[in-house]
Amino acid sequence: MSITVSFTLNGESVSAEVESRTLLVDVIRDHLGRTGTHVGCDTSQCGACVIHLDGRSVKSCTMLAVQAEGANVGTIEGVAQNGNLHPMQEAFREHHGLQCGFCTPGIIMSALDLVKQNADPSEKEIREWLEGNLCRCTGYQNIVRAVKAGAIAMRS
């Protein structure tokens, strides 16, 4: 059975015809064409699909699309504003916090929520927060540096 789901995506009103079982990530990627949010597993562990739902980071593979009805959804495509990179994005480039780039959108979205809740996270706090994001390329060291630097840049 098809259902219409409507929400705000990166500040824009959107709607899609979905099945009741359709996952939010599939609507974002397949129906709405925002492919920056990725799917890296099917057990809610890799975190490549992390987005913001009403300002909180969530795994969009672990929600039904209909649960986003009326919500404010943010994806990686909405992070840079007016062509200017967000300080967290800048920090990932500056500190080589990515290699293949597949996990990167989810990690940036996750990191932004961390800094929102904790403006000055310690290295330990960053590592523990990122426990729900898998990266196979970087060994996390430069990701942690980037999040730290991004947090500093966001405070200034």
Partner 1 sequence: MTENGIGAAVRRKEDQRFITGKGQYTDDINRPHQLHAHIIRSSLPHARIKSIDAGAALAMPGVVAVFTGKDMADDGVGSLPCGWGINNKDGSPMVEPPHLPLAPDTVRYVGDQVAVVLAEKRSIARDAAEQVDVDYDELPAAASLSAASADGAPLVWEDAPGNVCFDWEIGDAAVTDAAFANAAHVSSIDIVNSRLIPNAMEPRAGIGDYDSGKDEYTLYTTSQNPHVIRLLMGAYVLGIPEHKLRVIAPDVGGGFGSKIFHYAEEAIITWASKRVGRPVKWTADRSESFMSDAHGRDHISHAELALSQDGDFLGLRVRTRANLGAYLSTFGPSVPTYLYATLLAGTYKTPAIYCEVKAMFTHSVPVDAYRGAGRPEASYLLERLVDRAARETGIGQVEIRRRNFIPQDAFPYQTPVALEYDSGDYHTCLEKGLELADYAGFEQRCSESAGRGKLRGVGMSTYIEACGIAPSNVAGALGARAGLYEAGTIRVNPTGSVTVITGSHSHGQGHETTFAQLVTEALGVDFDSIEVVHGDTGKVPFGMGTYGSRSLAVGGMALMAALEKIKTKARKIAAHLLEASEDDVEFVDGQLKVAGTDRAVAFGDVALAAYVPHNYPLDVLEPGLEETAFYDPKNFTFPGGCHICEVEIDPDTGVVTVDRFTAADDFGRIINPMIVEGQVHGGVTQGIGQALYEQCIYDESGQLLTGSYMDYCLPKADNLPNFQVTTNTTLCAHNALGVKGCGEAGTIGSTPAVINAVVDALSDIGVTDMPIPATPERVWQAIRAASA
- For every residue of the chain, DSSP letters joined together read -EEEEEEEETTEEEEEEEETT-BHHHIIIIIT--TTS----SSS-S-TTEEEETTEEEETTSSBGGGGTT-EEE-GGGTSBTTBPPHHHHHHHHTT--SS-SSHHHHHHHHHHHHHH-SS--HHHHHHHGGG---SSS-SHHHHHHHHHHHHHHH-
Options 100, 119, 120, 122; binder of partner 1; rule CB under 8 A: 100
Residues 146, 95: contact at Cβ < 8 Å? yes
Regarding 143 and contact with partner 1 (CB under 8 A), the answer is yes
Regarding 113 and contact with partner 1 (CB under 8 A), the answer is no
Regarding 35 and contact with partner 1 (CB under 8 A), the answer is yes
Specify the pairing of strand 72-74 against strand 2-9: parallel
Options 7, 27, 37, 53; binder of partner 1; rule CB under 8 A: 37
Options 9, 27, 46, 53; binder of partner 1; rule CB under 8 A: 46
Regarding 41 and contact with partner 1 (CB under 8 A), the answer is yes
Regarding 34 and contact with partner 1 (CB under 8 A), the answer is yes
Regarding 17 and contact with partner 1 (CB under 8 A), the answer is no
**Residue 18 CA neighbour count, 13 Å, CB half:** 26
- Give me the least distance between CB of 104 and partner 1, in Å please: 5
- Give me the least distance between CB of 98 and partner 1, in Å please: 6
Q: Which is nearer to partner 1, 55 or 139 (CB)?
A: 139
Q: Residue numbers of the site for partner 1 (CB under 8 A)?
A: 19, 21-22, 29, 34-43, 45-46, 48, 75-77, 79-80, 85, 89, 92-94, 96, 98-105, 108, 123-124, 126-128, 130-131, 133-144
